[in-house]
């Protein structure tokens, strides 16, 4: 992956190549932002640039100040995801083939295929869908042991031993605690990059031991589900006003049939939509909401009902539901309960 192929992230790409050129590479970094916005692609482009044997620098005024060459032996190995010093970790699960004790080692080929197919921008939901699994993946303590083992080796070919942990928020507590030791006692030739959509589900001790790089949100064509989330949200908010129980039950049944990851995504999207609508409201309409609800009437008027009197109640209710869904609550009940609460709050204008 080269920086030039990552849409909309030139500013950050330039910061990253500057850090490498200045020799200020910190040994443990956390790239925070959605995979679809390029967090994983940027991490791989960063490592590729770090190891490139012929770094390219461009004239001032170019969008990118520098990039990897794309054709030296190291770059070629990165493009094929076969660099011997690069170790990939990601959420994994039991399948028909791996019935017990799954680990990343069992899915290396599948994961590389997934990365290639989606040009390193595929979401974790796509990863599960491609693998045909419904369950949520976990990065287990066996994987933390493998990370230790990978880092105990001498670099084979480049200056660094590199570990990339995609969706690091899917590490369970044992994994995270085991990894802490590795993060505490790095040796100079180690580079660990973690990526995560958000930091709220990660151990503070992990956060404090990593340098955080915020990945700006970039809307792009690989967000087909975003349109779906927007549609559901608009329909839902309208039903909350109408309080037509037949229609509301039908809506709840529909979302309850979706996978848990999509339900969580929907709630996260709803929280963001409410937050932005509230900002638009208190700014008297001057704050520009970045979400297009796909309906001019909704775009122009919905924000006026999200006020100081209900934003906190609505946000807390959505967060509680998100927490319940993560802990495998029965989705139909969780969403119905949430809908009933929100239909009261949304009236507290
Ligand atoms: Zn190169």
Per-residue pLDDT in tens (0 to 9) along the chain, 349 residues: 999 999 889 999 999 999 999 999 999 999 999 998 899 999 999 999 999 999 999 998 889 999 999 999 999 999 999 999 999 999 999 999 999 999 999 999 999 999 998 889 999 988 998 998 987 899 999 999 999 999 988 888 889 999 999 999 999 999 999 999 889 877 778 999 999 998 888 999 999 999 999 998 876 554 557 788 999 999 999 999 988 889 999 999 999 998 888 898 899 899 989 999 999 999 988 888 888 898 999 999 999 999 999 999 999 999 999 999 988 899 999 999 999 999 999 998 7
- Residue 171 has what pLDDT? 96
Ligand 1 centroid–CA 2 distance in Å is: 9
Long-range contacts of the stretch 170-175 (C-beta < 8 A, 24+): 170/91, 170/124, 170/136, 170/137, 170/138, 170/139, 171/138, 171/139, 171/143, 171/144, 171/202, 172/138, 172/139, 172/140, 172/141, 173/203, 174/140, 174/141, 174/144, 175/139, 175/140, 175/141, 175/143, 175/144
Q: How far is the CA of 39 from the centre of ligand 1 (A)?
A: 21
Question: From start to end of 95-246, where are the E strands?
Answer: 161-165, 190-196, 211-214
CA–centroid distance, residue 300 to ligand 1 (Å): 50
Measured in Å, residue 48 CA sits from the centre of ligand 1 at 7
Strands 66-67 and 161-165: unpaired
CA of 15 to the centre of ligand 1 (A): 19
pLDDT of residue 256: 93
pLDDT for 219 equals 66
Question: Alpha-carbon distance 272 to 139, whole Å?
Answer: 27
- What's the gap in Å between 257 CA and the centre of ligand 1? 47
CA distance 215 to 220: 14
Q: Say if residues 326 and 169 touch (Cβ distance below 8 Å).
A: no
Q: CA dist 24 to 44, 103, 163, 211, 335, Å? A: 17, 33, 18, 12, 47
Instruction: Tell me the pTM.
Output: 0.68
What domains does the chain contain, in order, with CATH numbers? 3-214 (3.40.50.300), 224-345 (1.20.272)
Find the 270 Cα to ligand 1 centroid distance in Å: 42
Q: How far is the CA of 165 from the centre of ligand 1 (A)?
A: 23
């Amino acid at each position: 992956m080269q920086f030039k192929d990552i849409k909309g992230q030139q500013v950050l790409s330039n910061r990253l190549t500057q850090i490498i050129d200045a020799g200020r590479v910190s040994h443990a970094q956390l790239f925070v932002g959605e995979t679809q916005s390029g967090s994983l692609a940027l991490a791989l482009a960063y490592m590729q640039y770090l190891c490139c044997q012929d770094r390219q620098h461009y004239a001032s005024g170019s969008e990118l100040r520098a990039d990897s060459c794309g054709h030296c032996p190291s770059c070629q190995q990165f493009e094929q995801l076969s660099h011997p010093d690069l170790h990939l970790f990601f959420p994994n699960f039991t399948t028909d083939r791996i019935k017990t004790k799954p680990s990343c080692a069992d899915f290396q080929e599948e994961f590389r295929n997934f990365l290639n197919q989606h040009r390193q921008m595929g979401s974790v939901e796509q990863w599960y869908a491609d693998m045909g699994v419904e369950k949520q993946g976990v990065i287990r303590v066996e994987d933390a042991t493998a990370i230790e083992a990978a880092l105990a080796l001498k670099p084979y070919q480049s200056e660094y031993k590199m570990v990339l942990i995609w969706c690091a928020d899917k590490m369970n507590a044992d994994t995270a605690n085991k990894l802490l030791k590795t993060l505490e006692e790095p040796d100079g030739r180690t580079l660990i990059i973690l990526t995560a959509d958000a930091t709220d589900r990660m151990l503070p001790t992990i956060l404090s031991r990593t340098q955080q790089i915020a990945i700006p949100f970039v809307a792009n064509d690989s967000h087909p589900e975003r349109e779906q989330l927007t549609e559901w949200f608009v329909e839902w908010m309208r039903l909350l006003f109408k309080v037509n129980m037949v229609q509301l039950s039908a809506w709840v049944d529909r979302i309850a049939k979706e996978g848990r990851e999509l339900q969580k995504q929907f709630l996260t999207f709803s929280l963001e939509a409410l937050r932005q609508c509230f900002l638009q409201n208190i700014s008297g309409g001057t704050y520009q909401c970045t979400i297009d609800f796909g309906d001019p009437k909704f775009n122009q008027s919905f924000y006026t009902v999200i006020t100081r009197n209900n934003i906190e109640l609505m946000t807390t209710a959505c967060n509680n539901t998100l927490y319940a869904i993560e802990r495998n609550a029965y989705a139909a009940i969780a969403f119905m309960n949430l809908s009933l609460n929100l239909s009261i709050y949304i009236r507290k204008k």
